[in-house]
Chains A and B, each alone.
Chain A
Amino acid sequence: MIVKVLGPGCANCVTLEKRTRQALTDLGLDAHVEKVTDYAQIAAYGVMTTPGLVVDEQVVLQGRVPTVAALGELLGAAARP
């Protein structure tokens, strides 16, 4: 699965990326994590409040940074078909 962290590089975006990687490691999921910093691309996902999280081209989260545990639930649910 491909996970994208949307954000121009603010503190929240860095935190979200860190926690996402942590959650993926905890789940034992093999995912490719990408950072999207281009504003046009971020906006094209319909995300207006950064940071945003996209799993396999689906926006699953935006505008806040959940805890690692909450992110794990979110990513776990998205990983199951």
Chain B
Amino acid sequence: MTLVDHVPTTRRGQGGALLAASVAWVVAYRVNGPVWDALLYDLLGLDPAARLTGSLRFFAYDTVKITLLLVGIVFVVTVLRSYMSVERTRALLGGRREGVGNVMAAGLGVVTPFCSCSAVPAFIGFVAAGIPIGVTLSFLIASPMVNEVAIGLLLTLFGWKVTAIYIGAGLTIAVVAGWVLGRLGVERWVEPFVFETRLRGEVVDPARGLTLAERLQTGVEEVGTILRRIWPYLLVGIGLGAVIHGWVPTDFFTRYAGADDVFGVLVAVGIGVPLYSNAAGVMPLVETLHDKGVPMGTLLAFMMAVVALSLPELVLLRRVLRPPLLAAYVGVVATGIVAVGYLFNALLA
């Protein structure tokens, strides 16, 4: 018996369960800060001004906060997204020219439920259906880059302005990068078997005909899957955040990685690309680094580099893309991210 099997089947039961879960979530989110304060400072009598205590409170508070946000965001997004599917996206993109197609593909990349483990069959399915390679790449770039967890976390931690910038920048990179790669005439750098694949059988749309109970079940299950997969990254991210929070002087980064620093963004992207984590693992770091004076453009570039370009995904894409195209893919996306970093450091400063 798992939690999933307890999703009620009646409308009334579902409403009740959702209401109870929402109330529990809000209460937990609200008492998170006060409970740790009472426990650490009043009950254990620790000194709030001490570095170690500060780090300890940051770690405890952020672990609970990010986990709660993650549970809420992943559940809501999964249930909403269960009405969309890659099949529907492909049908919407069919027959679109480059340009319009790139813009649509990037937008659909954000709302379509998609896991990078499906990147290869989706790539083949799109290309076999006659969708241009540049348009397909816009979809594949936007999907991890404009990440729903990152949107939710940015919105709660930094407000709508930074979130809007993040979404706009991510979409622009996906559209431009896909369009540029399409213009390069990259067909010859795609593995030939992709073009030889003939589709047979009827397409089963996974979004169609689900009951609300099934959609809610999918939501609960996805929360479990995500938490099981990313908790080590989450703890490492919050741990690093806690250390920086307590031990790095406030003006350290302002001095060494401020907005007027020429190399800040390049260094951030250089560190971010090989680093394999996810939005939830990076956010505690972004939060503390922001407190310590690292400019937002540099941080957005760092986060995008971590989530948009990852070695495991590149290894998967190598099955369908030859090395020159793979290198061009990484180069174009990384260049876009660097440009966004500098642009927003200049705009937000």
A and B: partners? Answer: yes
Binding site for B on A (CB under 8 A): 8, 10-12, 39-40, 42-50, 57-67, 70
- Mark contacts of B200-235 with chain A using CB atoms, 8 A cut-off: 1 yes-contact digit, 0 otherwise: 111110100000001001100100010001000000
B115 CB to closest chain A CB, in angstroms? 7
Closest 10 CB pairs of A and B: A63-B206, A43-B124, A48-B125, A10-B117, A48-B122, A48-B86, A39-B120, A49-B118, A43-B121, A46-B199
Contact of A46 among B202, B214, B316 (CB under 8 A): B202
Main secondary structure of the interface of B (DSSP, over half): helix
Binding site for A on B (CB under 8 A): 4-5, 85-87, 90, 113-115, 117-118, 120-122, 124-126, 128, 193, 197-204, 206, 214, 217-218, 221, 225, 229, 316, 319-320
| Inter-subunit contact B201/A45 (CB<8 Å) | yes
Contacts of B319 in A (CB 8 A): 39
| Inter-subunit contact B121/A50 (CB<8 Å) | yes
Q: Closest residue of chain B to A13, judged by CB?
A: B117
Q: Closest residue of chain B to A69, judged by CB?
A: B5
**A40-B197, A45-B201 as given contacts; A11 in contact with B113, CB under 8 Å:** no
Contact of A40 among B4, B124, B201, B221 (CB under 8 A): B124
Contact of B121 among A11, A49, A64, A65 (CB under 8 A): A49
| Inter-subunit contact B121/A39 (CB<8 Å) | yes
Contacts of A57 in B (CB 8 A): 201
| Inter-subunit contact A44/B204 (CB<8 Å) | no
A65 CB to closest chain B CB, in angstroms? 7
Contacts of A61 in B (CB 8 A): 204, 206
| Inter-subunit contact B199/A40 (CB<8 Å) | no
